[in-house]
Structure 1
Amino acid sequence: MVGIIIASHGEFAKGIYQSGSMIFGEQENVQPVTLMPSEGPDDIKAKLEKAIASFDDQDQVLFLVDLWGGTPFNQVNGLFEAHKDKWAIVAGLNLPMLIEAYASRLSMNSAHEIATHIIETAKDGVKVRPEALAPKEDAKAAAVDNSANAGRPGKFEYVLARIDSRLLHGQVATAWSKTVNPTRIIVVSDNVSKDNLRTQMIIQAAPNGVKAHVIPIDQMIKIAKDDKHFGGQKALLLFETPQDALKAIKGGVPLDTLNIGSMAHSVGKVQPNKVLAFDQDDIDTYKELEKMGVKMDVRKVPTDGQENLDHIMDKAEKLLKEQANS
């Protein structure tokens, strides 16, 4: 696997490394390297050499640096000269660039290949609102509907169905979208579809090249039965609650697996782990889904290991009993 070094002036490298881990999950063979105010070129050079030495494969290293021509870049560049046939440097570090680099490591085996690939994503990550402030070429490109296959005979291909109380956020827009490559992200919720503000925020959060929609459950059921307009389309469905997912599946949305990402804590719920909170209705809903043959994939991001939902729910039921008896 290609090793990645994130190098910056000050704590920027550590901060963006932490942000990348929150969105895409913990990563192996990645090291943040910082140049602090009290340090000089030799200090960061020593840090860079130590970071490189920690990698499993030191032949393939990608350096993501904050500023072209700055001290971190200059020291990286000095080390790079002896390895430029395999190493690569990309300056102008931003979070979309880092996440794309993480995703690219899953299918690309060279630093040169990843460096070439991530540049467009880094550029596309720079956006502005109002949209009229964007350069004309960018504004025109943003208006293009990349769902070119819309209208062909056939039904949706469901590439992911996820229960996530946060709906469309960074982990979905980046990590999952890069993994399953949807053409459309559809939030299926009666409540959210009535909220114009949340709907607009979700539509605006869609990654480049993907259309986002917010629709009520009954409409999703009708769409699932439509075999005339959605051929070639790949749908990533987002449900706010397991109850919404159950209603959709009972209505005929053909989902055989549910990815469970997060369930927010609220009054009356217990939290058996960091990201999932349950009340008894949630537990009963999941058990009904399991009886229907729906598989449960408990993961925040694609690189996480799968957790056992039944074990988590057993713990939740014990906590609910303790809560009732207290």
Structure 2
Amino acid sequence: MVNIILASHGEFAEGILQSAQMIFGEQEQIVAATLMPNEGPDDLKAKLDEAVDSFGEDAEILFMVDLWGGTPFNQTNILYDHLGEKSAIVAGLNLPMLLEALGARMGMETAHELASHIISKEAIGIRVKPEELQPQEEVATETEDGQEQAVGSLEPGTVLGDGKIDYVLTRVDTRLLHGQVAINWNKATNPTRIIVVNDTISKDEMRKTLLQQAAPPGVRTNAIPIRKLVEINDDPRFGATRAMLLFDNPQDVLEAVEQGVDIKEVNLGSMAHATGKRMINKALSVDEEDVKTFKALEEHGVTFDVRILPGDSREDLDSLLRKEDLI
């Protein structure tokens, strides 16, 4: 895994690291070094030296700095000259850039590789309102022979892929689409479409718009009723789709499964506390109706993945319920 040092004028580096960890969870092998108003270049250099030493010899280090040509850049550049091929510098630090780096560094071995990756992805974090100022990008579905074609333009009965939607994640989360989903789970599952399945939200134009604005760039996002999910589940034109399904309660998942939607596993990420519900871990609050729903889903062959983030350890649902005397 590539080590990261954030360097900035003022407390920006520390603040952006805190923001990233709120979304991505606690991170190892990343350090923030700040140049405060009462400090000079030598003070920052000492902090950077300490950070480099903390990673040990032969560490791959990516420096992410706020401004090209500023003091943080100049001081990291001195270290870059010393470290050579084992380091790289990226300027223009922002939150989407940092989240991209955190998501990608686990699978990369060199700082150069990580720097090249985030520079190619960095611009996608820039969005604008009014939306007509945003450059438009065509979102298409890839056919078996590599040709791209929008699903809506295909004749009914057209078969893409194997004719079945690939459900890369089915998640129960009271908050539906938010940072942990749009960043962490999106990177872990790589969907081509995010589908919020909720009868109420599908009729609320404002909430649908907010969901679309929260979606990761390049991933088509829809809010649909359960009946519509049942329809597209059987539509072979969606056979090349990798779908992330988001529900805000397990009862809707059960209804979809009972109507034939091919869901094999449900990620239980967050169920908000309410009157009559009991917390079974830090994120899940359930009542007797929920427990019955879990049992019914198990009878349909559905398994459960209990964790908030992809990097978390899975918890066993039955063990959590037994601990609270719910089964």
TM-score by length of 2: 0.89
1:90 — aligned with what?
90
The answer (yes or no) to whether the contact 1:146–1:209 under 8 Å persists in 2 is no
* Whole-Å separation in 2 of the counterparts to 1:293 and 1:56: 48
2:52 — aligned with what?
52
2:315 — aligned with what?
307
Which among 202, 212, 218 is matched to residue 209 of structure 1?
218
- Shift, 1:237, TM fit: 0.6
1:62 — aligned with what?
62
Q: Which amino acid aligns with 2:170?
A: A
2:148 — aligned with what?
none
* Whole-Å separation in 1 of the counterparts to 2:319 and 2:31: 34
- Shift, 1:279, TM fit: 2.0
In the alignment, does 2:262 pair up with 1:254? yes
Q: How does 1:1-326 map to 2 (within 5 A)?
A: 1-55=1-55, 58-134=58-134, 139-141=135-137, 144-149=138-143, 150=151, 151=154, 153=159, 154-226=163-235, 228-317=236-325
CA offset digits 1:254-297 (Å, max 9, x no partner): 11111111111223323233322222212221232233332211
* Whole-Å separation in 2 of the counterparts to 1:39 and 1:311: 53
1:81–1:297 CA distance, 2 compared to 1 (3 A):
same
Identity rate of aligned residues, in percent? Answer: 52
Give the count of matched residue pairs: 312
* Whole-Å separation in 1 of the counterparts to 2:56 and 2:283: 31
* Whole-Å separation in 2 of the counterparts to 1:301 and 1:248: 24
The answer (yes or no) to whether the contact 2:141–2:240 under 8 Å persists in 1 is no
Query: 2:59 is paired with a residue of what secondary structure?
Result: coil
* Whole-Å separation in 2 of the counterparts to 1:34 and 1:291: 55
* Whole-Å separation in 1 of the counterparts to 2:36 and 2:318: 47
- Shift, 1:58, TM fit: 4.1
- Shift, 1:317, TM fit: 4.5
CA offset digits 1:123-170 (Å, max 9, x no partner): 121111102334xxxx233xx124344356112111111111111111
The answer (yes or no) to whether the contact 2:58–2:86 under 8 Å persists in 1 is no
Query: 1:84 is paired with a residue of what secondary structure?
Result: helix
- Shift, 1:102, TM fit: 1.3
Cα RMSD for the two superposed structures: 1.9
Q: Which amino acid aligns with 1:312?
A: L
Q: Which amino acid aligns with 1:164?
A: D
* Whole-Å separation in 2 of the counterparts to 1:113 and 1:275: 36
1:189–1:88 CA distance, 2 compared to 1 (3 A):
same
Per mean C-alpha deviation after superposition, the further-off stretch among 30-39 and 54-63 is 54-63
The answer (yes or no) to whether the contact 1:9–1:66 under 8 Å persists in 2 is yes
* Whole-Å separation in 1 of the counterparts to 2:316 and 2:55: 31
Note the residue ranges of structure 1 that are not aligned, 5 or more in a row.
321-326
Per mean C-alpha deviation after superposition, the further-off stretch among 98-107 and 266-275 is 266-275
1:179–1:308 CA distance, 2 compared to 1 (3 A):
same
Q: Which amino acid aligns with 2:131?
A: E
TM-score by length of 1: 0.89
CA offset digits 1:33-78 (Å, max 9, x no partner): 2222222222221211222222266431111111112222111111
Note the residue ranges of structure 2 that are not aligned, 5 or more in a row.
144-150
CA offset digits 1:208-244 (Å, max 9, x no partner): 2210011111111121122x20122111111111111
The answer (yes or no) to whether the contact 1:160–1:259 under 8 Å persists in 2 is yes
* Whole-Å separation in 2 of the counterparts to 1:240 and 1:89: 41
* Whole-Å separation in 2 of the counterparts to 1:9 and 1:316: 49
* Whole-Å separation in 1 of the counterparts to 2:36 and 2:280: 40
- Shift, 1:90, TM fit: 0.5
* Whole-Å separation in 1 of the counterparts to 2:11 and 2:322: 42
The answer (yes or no) to whether the contact 1:25–1:304 under 8 Å persists in 2 is no
